[in-house]
Amino acid sequence: MTVVEERPAPPAAPPPRRPNRLWALLRNSWRQLTSMRTALVLLFLLAVAAIPGSIFPQRAVDSQRVTEYYAAHPKLAPVLERLGGFEVYASPWFASIYLLLFTSLIGCVIPRLLDHIRSLRLAPPDAPKRLDRLPQSAPAVESSKTPAELAAMLRKRRFRVKLREHDDGSVTVSAEKGHLKETGNLIFHFALLAVLIGVGFGHWYGWHGNRILVAGADQGFCNSLAQYDDSTLGPRVTAADLPNFCLTLNNFEASYQPDTGQPKGFEATVGVTEDDGPVQTRDFTVNDPLRLHHANVHLIGHGYAVTVRYTDRYGESQTKTVPFLPVDGMFTSEGVAQFPDVNIDPKTNKRDATLQMGFEGRYLPTVGTGATSTYPAENAPALFLTAYRGDLGLDVGTPGSVYSLDQGQIETGDLKNISGERPHELKVGETWTLDDGSKLEFVGTRPYATLAIRYDPTQSLILVGAVLGLIGLMLSLGGHRRRVWFRALPASPDSSGGTLLAAGGLPRTDYPGFTDEFASLVKAAEEGNP
Amino acid sequence: MAELSNQLMAVTVLAYLAAMVLYAGEYAFGAKSRVGRAAVLPARELVGAGAPVPDDLPPAPVLVVSNSKRAEWVGRAAVGFNVLALLLHLGTLVTRGIAADRMPWGNMYEYILSATFVGSAVWAGVLLRRPALRHIGLFVSLALVLLLGADGMIAYTPVGPLVPALQSYWFIIHVSTIILASGILLIGAVPAAMFLIRDGYDRGKRRFPYTLGKSLPDATLLERLTFRLHAFAFPLFTFGALIAGPIWAEASWGRYWNWDPKEVWAFISWVVYAGYLHARATPSVKRTVATWIAILGFATMLMNLFGVNLFFSGLHSYANAGGM
C-alpha cells in the first residue's frame, strides 16, 4: 500500500507458456485490487460510506430514535431500512468496502513482509561505479582512516555495514540504515488487521444488556436474559454462557448545582453476589464502572421510581413500584402504573377485564408553577395522574411499552378516562379516592439506576493492537531509509598508509535532513585528514 | 474573571485582524509582489513622461528598495502583532480556565478556542524556524480570525462546571491530544492551500486564486511543510481519537466505539488523512492530488468541529453550543 521501492530488476521472466485467459483475468484483477490506486479509492469510499451513519439514527446506538424516525418519516423510513440506513455499520455494502480494503491490504503487506525479511538479511549492496552521480557525494580526499575504522564509525551510528575488497585494490564500505521505517509500516498494517479481527471476535463472543435497577432489596437483579429490559447476545453466546451474579441497589446519590440544577456527581452503592459467594458492597459511578468477572456494569442514567398502593372496591390492596422515565434535565418523569388483577369479586373469584385499572402521568421532583419540574432533586415532589378503567390490553400478548398505556385501547373506548382532563395531584402519603370508592395512595419514591452491562472478550487485545499500530505508525512516519558508500583507494605510495576516500549517499525516501547527515558522516570519515 | 476572558477574546481577534492587515500590507507593497511591481512601473513612466530625464538615472530600483524596506517593516510589525495576538489568545484561555476552575476544554466554544491557539502557536514556531514562510501569514491569520469569529458568534457558552460524564482524567488526555492534533491539522491546511496556489501559478495558471501564488514561498517548501505538519499531527490524532477516546468511552459508556456522530466524523477524518499520507508516499500519485486530499481532510475536520455539534445530537453532545 505504499511505495514500491526500486530494486534490482528481477531476472527476465520465462517466456509465457500457453496463455490461460481465466488465470490472466484473475491475476490482473488481483493486481488491480492490491494496487495503491484501488486502496486509495476504497479508503475514500469507506469515508463516504460512513457518513449516513452520522445522519440517520442507528439501531445499535439508539433504537428509540429509530422508532421516532419511523414516526416522523413514515414513507422514507422503510426505504432506508431496506438500504440498511439504520444499521450502516452492519450493512453488506459497508462490510464489502472494508473487507475489500483489508483484502487489498493483505495482498499488499504479505509480499512486502517477505521482501522486507529478505532485505533485512541482505547485506547492503556494493557501491555504484560513479559515486558522484548520486544525490549526495563528496570528492576523494586523503584520509588516515582505514576502511575498518570507517566501518566501525558507521556501525557506531547504527548503520548496517559491509566491507568489500576489489581486485583493483580499492575497498568499498557500504552502509544502510532505516529499516525500521518499513518495519514500523508493516507493524502498523498488521496491527490494523489484528484490530479488525479483534472487533469481529468481540462481536461474536460479546454480549450486552440494559436494565433499570430500582433501589431496595426487593428489587434485586440476577444476570439472566429474562431479567434484562433489553439485551443482545453475540452469535456465539448462549443464555447459559452468561456469568452468574446478582445485584441489589442499596443506595443512589446524585448531587446537583444549587442554582442551575446541572448534575455534579453520582454514586451508586450495590450489593454484589458473584457465583453464589458472599455479598460484597461496592461503589461505582459514571466513568468508573463496576468490574465483575466477565462483565462490566456501567452507570448510564438514573431516575425516580414511584411506589403507589391501589385499594380496590372490595378492599384488596396491591403495591407497585414503577420506574418513571425522565423527559428533561430537571427530571420531569413520565410513567404508568397498571393493575390488571384488581376488582376481582370475592364471590365469583372471576377477573373482570372491564375493571382493570391504569394510572398514567408525570412525577415532578420539584413542583414549580408549570407542568414540568424546576429542579432535579426531590425538593417538592408531586405526582400528577390520570386514572383509566377498562381493558388494559395486556392479555393480547403483544409487547407494549411499560411506560405508557396502550393508546389503541383508549381509542377504541375499551379503556376509559375516569378522572377528567386535569391530572390529579398527589403529594407523598396522600390518598386519592376514585368514583367507585377505590383508592390510590402515593406511598413514596425510590431512586433507580440505569445500568448497561457488557462483556467484550477482545477489547484488551484490540487496545494492544491499537497501541502497536500507533508505535508502528510513528516509526513509519519518522524513519528514513538511506544508503551511504565510501570507496577507499590506496593513496600514493609516498604518503604514510593514508587512503583516498570518496563518498556517496542515497536517501531512499523524501528526507530533507539527509544533506546534513551525509555531511557529518563525511566529516567524521575525514577526521584523520593529515 | 469570565468577563475578562471574554474581553480578552475580543482583543485577541482584533490583534489577529491587525496582524492580518499588516501581512496584507506587506503582501501588497513587498518587492516580490505583483502589486508592488505594478506600483513601481507607472512611477517610472510618470517621471519619463513629465520631463526629459537622462537615461542614466533609473528611478525604479530606488523605489523598489524603499518599497521593500517599508514592506519589511510592515512585515515585522505583522509578526509583532501576530505574537501579541498569540499571547492575548493564551490569556483568554488561562482566564477562562481560572473562571471555570478547570481545563478550558469543556464545550465547543472552549474547544475551538484551544484548537486555534494550538494552530497559532504552531504557526509561530514555523515562523521562527523558517522566516521565509512569512508571506503565508496573511492566510494563517485570516483562517484564525474566521475560526475565532465563528467560535465567538456561533458557539459562545457562558462559563460552567463540567457535567459528571466529563469528570475523568481521560478528559485531559483525550481532549488535549485531540485539540493539539486538530490545531495542527487545521493550520496544516494553510500551507496545503498555498502549495496548490503556488504550484498552479508555477504551471502558468493566471486565474484569480493562482495570481496570489507569485509572492508565495517556493512550492516544494510549502509542500514539505504541509507533509511534516500532517505527519506530526496524524499519530497524535490517532492516539487522541482512536486510542484515548475508546479507552474513556469503554469506562464511561461501556463500549469502546459507539458510532456516535462525532466518532463517525473523526473516523472519516482519520481515513481521509490516512489517504493523504498514502497518496503522498506513492510516487505515481501527483503531489497536487495528495494535497487536495489533505484539503478534503480539513473539510471533514471543520464538519466535525461545527457541523456535528450543531446539526447532530449524540453522546458527545455536551460539547454542544450552549453547554449541556
Instruction: Output the average pLDDT for chain A.
Output: 88
The distance of A216 to chain B (nearest Cα, Å) reads: 24
CB contacts, 8 Å: B167 with chain A = 265, 286-287
Beta bridge partners of A339: A357
Identity of the residue in A51, A88, A466 whose CB atom sits nearest the CB atom of B243: A466
pLDDT band at A92 (very low <50, low <70, confident <90, very high): very high
CB contacts, 8 Å: A208 with chain B = 254-255
Residue of B nearest to A188 (CA): B235
Residue type, A415: L
**Mean pLDDT, to the nearest integer, of A63-81?**
89
Q: CB of A461 within 8 A of CB of A194?
A: yes
Beta bridge partners of A301: A450
Cβ neighbours of residue A492 closer than 8 Å, sequence gap 6 or more? none
Give tens-digit pLDDT for A357-395: 999 999 999 998 888 999 999 999 999 999 999 988 887
Angle among Cα A141, A131, A487 to the nearest 5 degrees reads 50
Let me know if B137 is exposed, middle or buried by CB neighbors in 10 A (0-12, 13-18, 19+): buried
Give tens-digit pLDDT for B105-130: 888 888 889 999 999 999 999 888 88
Specify the pLDDT at position B260: 87
CB contacts, 8 Å: B277 with chain A = 477
Interchain pair B251, A260: CB under 8 A:
no
Give tens-digit pLDDT for B22-58: 888 887 776 554 444 444 444 444 443 434 444 444 4
Residue B197 has pLDDT above 60, yes or no: yes
Size of interface A-B (CB pairs under 8 A): 128
Instruction: Compute how many other C-beta atoms are within 10 angstroms of the C-beta atom of residue A27.
Output: 11
Identity of the residue in B224, B265, B275 whose CB atom sits nearest the CB atom of A40: B275
| Cell of residue A491, nine digits | 593513496
Residue B147 has pLDDT above 80, yes or no: yes
Let me know if A421 is exposed, middle or buried by CB neighbors in 10 A (0-12, 13-18, 19+): exposed
The distance of B148 to chain A (nearest Cα, Å) reads: 26
Interchain pair B268, A51: CB under 8 A:
yes
CB contacts, 8 Å: B282 with chain A = 2-3, 36
Interface test with A, best of B166, B259, B285 (most A CBs within 10 A): B259
Interchain pair B243, A463: CB under 8 A:
yes
B274 in contact with A, Cβ within 8 Å? yes
Identity of the residue in B224, B247, B251 whose CB atom sits nearest the CB atom of A289: B251
Specify the pLDDT at position B151: 87
Residue A236 has pLDDT above 60, yes or no: yes
A 468-487 residues with CB < 8 A to B: 469-470, 473-474, 477
Interchain pair A285, B256: CB under 8 A:
no
Structural domains of chain A, ranges and CATH numbers in brackets:
21-119 (no CATH), 125-178+480-525 (3.30.1370), 207-455 (no CATH)
Specify the pLDDT at position A491: 67
Residue of B nearest to A289 (CA): B251
Alpha-carbon distances, residue B63 vs A316, B27, B30 (angstroms): 106, 16, 11
A60-87 as b/e: b if 16+ CB within 10 A: bbbeebbeebbeeeeeebeebeeebbbb
Give tens-digit pLDDT for B304-319: 888 887 777 777 765 4
Three-state SS string over A256-299 comes to ECCCCCCEEEEEEEEEEEECCCCEEEEEEECCECEEECCEEEEE
Q: Which long-range contacts (CB under 8 A, 24 or more apart) does A216-219 make?
A: A216/A248, A216/A249, A216/A321, A216/A446, A217/A248, A217/A271, A219/A248, A219/A249, A219/A321, A219/A446
Residue of B nearest to A101 (CA): B271
Alpha-carbon distances, residue A365 vs A273, A378, A384, B165 (angstroms): 32, 4, 11, 22
The distance of B150 to chain A (nearest Cα, Å) reads: 23
Specify the pLDDT at position A405: 87
The distance of B218 to chain A (nearest Cα, Å) reads: 15
The distance of A52 to chain B (nearest Cα, Å) reads: 9
Residue B247 has pLDDT above 80, yes or no: yes
Identity of the residue in A263, A298, A477 whose CB atom sits nearest the CB atom of B234: A477
Higher-confidence residue: A253 or B161?
Answer: A253
User: Taking the domains of chain B in order of start, what are their residue ranges?
Assistant: 2-319
Interchain pair A3, B272: CB under 8 A:
no
Interchain pair B312, A55: CB under 8 A:
yes
Instruction: Output the average pLDDT for chain B.
Output: 82
Instruction: State percent of chain A over pLDDT 90.
Output: 55
**Mean pLDDT, to the nearest integer, of A430-435?**
93
Give tens-digit pLDDT for A452-495: 999 999 999 999 999 999 999 999 998 899 999 999 887 665 55
B322 in contact with A, Cβ within 8 Å? no
Residue of A nearest to B323 (CA): A262
**Mean pLDDT, to the nearest integer, of A9-29?**
74
CB contacts, 8 Å: A3 with chain B = 281-283
Q: Which of A27-36, A240-249, B110-119 has the lowest mean pLDDT?
A: A27-36
Residue of A nearest to B223 (CA): A510
* φ/ψ (deg, to 5) at A439: -130, 150
CB contacts, 8 Å: B256 with chain A = 456, 459, 462-463
Give tens-digit pLDDT for A175-231: 999 999 999 999 999 999 999 999 999 999 999 999 999 999 899 999 988 899 888
Interchain pair A36, B278: CB under 8 A:
yes
Give tens-digit pLDDT for B252-281: 888 899 888 889 999 999 999 999 999 998
Single pTM value for the model = 0.84
Specify the pLDDT at position A257: 86
Residue of A nearest to B308 (CA): A54
C-alpha torsion sign, points B78, B82, B88, B89? positive
Residue A525 has pLDDT above 80, yes or no: yes
Q: Which helix (H) or strand (E) holds A227?
A: none
Interchain pair B239, A36: CB under 8 A:
no
A95 in contact with B, Cβ within 8 Å? no
What is the total residue count of chain B?
324
